[in-house]
Each structure stands twice: as structure tokens, then as C-alpha cells.
Amino acid sequence: MSEQLSKQQIYDRIKATSKDSYILEEMQRLGFWQSSAEPTLSEILIKQEAAIEKELNELLAQDRKFSNREAMVLEMRKARMKVAKEKRAETKLKQEQKRLDKAENWKLLQEKQILYLGEAVSKGLNFKESNTAILEKYNLPVFENALALAKSMNIDLKALQYLAYNRKVSKINHYHTFELEKKSGGKRKISAPKPKLKEIQTWILENILHKIPYTIEAHGFVKERSIVTNAQPHVNKDIVVNIDLKDFFPTVTYKRVKGLFCKIGYSEEVATILGLVCTYSEINETTLDGVTYYVQAGERKLPQGSPASPAISNLIVYKLDKKINGLAKKLNFSYTRYADDMSFSTTQENSQNVSRLLHFTKKIIEAEGFVIHPEKIHVMRKGTQQKVTGIVVNDKLNVDRNQLRKFRALLHNIEKNGWKDQKWGKAVHVINAIEGYINYVNMVSPQKGTAFKQNLKNIIKLHGLPNIEKISIPKEETPIVIPVQEEKEETAVEQKPENWWNIF
């Protein structure tokens, strides 16, 4: 049974076509009008009438609309507003999707690479090409990008970014800063990295820096070399000259450290990260509204206290060592360097070249970006006490006699009166200072060192240990190998890989 139309629906159908057309359709639907293959004239006329009627109604409606200007303008505005609204909605959806896609891409990028490390240091992060030929030559690890570097260090990429980030103002500080008194007077500022940063710096030292050969002239912080090997070439010389570099570590800036890592083959991206991790900036501490802020003061430089700083400084002065050693040989001097202490020695017959040595050495040092400490240039001749990095070298390697006499007196006093109120140098705990001095003497003169160790053991048996924690009794140390002749050292240089700096 077909659905019964309401009066309104019937009216609307008649209005849309015509009364005759509606009757015809209903009669055909109800079966009172038999439709044939060819429509009858009546059907054709009725349908044409309906079509004409519909077209006429549309024209009349359009005419009524156009006859009313205000209605026409309103209709046009409504149409435009509808289109504009639909377009705005579509644009908003596209922008939102674009924002979501951008955020997702940014998140993925941050998971795979470091995009920013602070003002004035992030420019090179987009350059990821390394010189693998140089890296492989010295068996250095190759890092495709920052993510590979972080994985090798066994650290999360975000954590590496956190440690390397160059903050002008920050609420955090990755270093413990304190001062130590120097033996020569004044204070030395120490910036010791906190545990996680120290772990990363140690990794860089062991996996990168230690694999690059140092010059034979460098004796500070180099395996199997020491103050003893540094002093040995200057024993029993007529003239000994000592020169100190002023502010040695602070002179090595972030740009120089980054440049070093680029020189040994790393991409600018990796070199930037390594350079930032291995340097720091002096900070001013200030408090505002109960919050402590650390404000950078000056450019980044090598910190005294980082495990990587000595090795970096040795590599930075590679060319300096080679130039000065070349000058020293030309003027018939022997040359060694222990950190910022430079030592020369020669015979009395060559004394006329001392002034030339000092003049040209100063020029080379300044050309390499360093400065001589004006108060620490010493020319020591035979007949006076000659010292190289604290070791007496007049006839043989020896310890300062006055210092030894005072130390023997200290041990005698402790043995007689006990530990109370005893002091050695400026150390807080006298036992630590004594152990350190005994180890130093043992390096220079094992026979004297052994005797002192026995004295200390006897004192401990008699009086026990001072009332401080974590005291270690001096142990027998592995003897240090000291080169017998300079000629053997020179032979060792020839057996090493070619100077890595000269490949450029």
C-alpha cells in the first residue's frame, strides 16, 4: 500500500508543476491511465505544460527577486558569506593539519638530531659531513650525526643537548667552582665538572683525544711521561731557561677547541657538540625573587678541572711545540714542555744565543695566540740551583735540599710528638700532604722515597693515623720509565704516525 500524501505535500507538487501534470502522474500510478510505448498527445501536452509552468514560476520568482534591489543584494551577500565561511572552515582545517604535521615532524627531528644549542654556536649544526679518511687514519670513531655520537657515549640525545647547551642566563650550572692556593702565591680557580658531564668528558678523552699522538716535547698529562721525563733532558747543563705561559687554559677558547675537532676530521655538527661539552664560561651568580641565576661572563674556554682539558691543550699547542723545537734545535738548545711550563737548556759555549732564543720564542708564542708570563722567565746558570718543573737538575735529578731537610724535620717532630698541630704546606690534612710529597720524592729519587715511606709506616705504628676519614697508606708505585738519551726520543718520533696537523 502506497504512502498517503498530506494536503500540503499535494499542494507543493501541484505548485512545482501543474494540476494536470499531478493528476496524470497519479492516474498512471494508480493504473487508471495505461501508458504505452509511444506517449499520447495528451500526455505530451500535459508534460510540456508542466515544464513550461515550472520554468515560468522560476522566472517569476527570479523577477520578483531582481525587482527588489535590497533583497537581491542581501541574497548575494548571503551567498558570498556562505562560500567564504565554507572556505574559512576548509582553510582552518588545512592549517590545523599543517600545524599537527609540523609538530610531528619537529618531534621526529628532535628525536634524531640536535637542532639548536644556543645563541652564536648553532650555525654549524647543519653541516654533517666528516673527513673519514683522517678519522680512520688515527682509528678515531666515526659519527654519522649527533644521535650516533650520543649512542656511542651511552647517553640520551636530549641529555647530551642539555649538557652542551650554551646558556647566556641559566638556573643551572654544570660545574663546581672553587679556588686553590698556589705554591708561588695567589689562587688558582678550579672549575670541576659535575658527575655526568665529567663522565662525558672522560669518554671524549679516552675514545678520541688519547688516540691522537702528542709531540715528543710534551710531557704533561701524557701516559708514561711525567715531570721526571720532562726534567731528564736538562740534567747537567750549563744554562737552563724556564718560561711560563700566562693563563694557559683560559687562552684556549671554544672556537679553538671546536677547530681542533674539525681538524682531526669531525663534521662541524659533531665538533660543535664536542667543543661545547669540553668548554665553559665564567659565570656571575645572582639572585632575583629568591631564584638563583647564573649569568655568563665572557666567552667559553677550557676549564681547569676537566679531565679532557690537559689533552686538548696538548693538541692545541702541537704546532707551537714543533715551531719552538725547530727554533731550539737551530740555536742548539734542548726543549721540553710540561703543560704551561717550557724548559730549555744548553752549554756555556752557546750562551750568546739565550737572548735570541727568548726573542724568537716570544714571537712564536704570540703568533700562536698565547702570552708569556713576564714574571716567570728564569735563566739559571751553573753554580746556582737549576730547576725544571720543581726538580733540581744541576748534576742529576734531585729534590730541593732545603725542602728535604724541612720534611725530615717534620717527620722527626711527628714521630716525637704525634700528629697534633702538625702542618706541611697549605694542605688541610697533613697526612695527605705527606703522602703526596713522599710520592713526589719517590718519582725523582726512589731510594729517598723508599726511606720516607718506611718512616711514615713507623710513625703510623707508633701514633696511628690522624683522625680523618679515607686515608690511604702510601703504596709501592710502578717505576717510571725515563728516557736515557735524547737520541732515543728522536727515534721514537720517527716511528710514530706522521704529524696529524701537517695533513692540512
Model pLDDT for residues 126-170, shown as the tens digit of each residue? 899 999 999 999 999 999 999 999 999 999 999 999 999 999 999
> In terms of pTM, does the model score above 0.75?
no
pLDDT at site 1:
47
C-alpha cell at 217: 716535547
Q: How far apart are CA 300 and CA 148, in angstroms?
A: 25
C-alpha cell at 141: 670513531
Q: Using 50, 70 and 90 to split pLDDT, how confident is the model at 438? A: very high
Q: Is 120 helix (H, G, I), strand (E, B) or coil?
A: coil
More confident residue, 480 or 165: 165
**Per-residue b or e along 5-41, where b marks 16 or more CB atoms closer than 10 Å to that residue's CB:** eeeeeeeebbeebbebbbebbeeeeeeeeeeeeeeee
Q: Span 439-460, mean pLDDT?
A: 92
Model pLDDT for residues 288-320, shown as the tens digit of each residue? 988 999 999 889 999 999 999 999 999 999 999
Q: Is 422 helix (H, G, I), strand (E, B) or coil?
A: coil
Asked if residue 58 has pLDDT above 50, the reply is yes
Asked if residue 457 has pLDDT above 70, the reply is yes
Nearest Cα neighbor of 487 from 225, 129, 222, 233 is 233
pLDDT at site 452:
93
Q: How distant, in Å, are the alpha carbons of 360, 424, 452 from that of 431? A: 45, 9, 13
Among the residue ranges 3-17, 189-203, 284-298, 375-389, the one predicted with the least confidence is 3-17
Contact 342, 331 (CB under 8 A): no
Q: Containing H/E element for 367?
A: helix 354-367
What value, to the nearest 5°, has the Cα angle with vertex 105 and ends 100 and 110? Answer: 125
The position carrying cell 679518511 is 133
What value, to the nearest 5°, has the Cα angle with vertex 371 and ends 370 and 376? Answer: 135
Model pLDDT for residues 224-256, shown as the tens digit of each residue? 899 999 999 999 999 999 999 999 999 999 999
Average pLDDT, the chain: 85
pLDDT at site 48:
76
The position carrying cell 690511604 is 472
Q: Span 443-455, mean pLDDT?
A: 93
Q: What is the phi/psi pair of residue 220, to 5°?
A: -85, 130
Q: Using 50, 70 and 90 to split pLDDT, how confident is the model at 189? A: confident
What value, to the nearest 5°, has the Cα angle with vertex 354 and ends 353 and 358? Answer: 115
pLDDT at site 477:
39
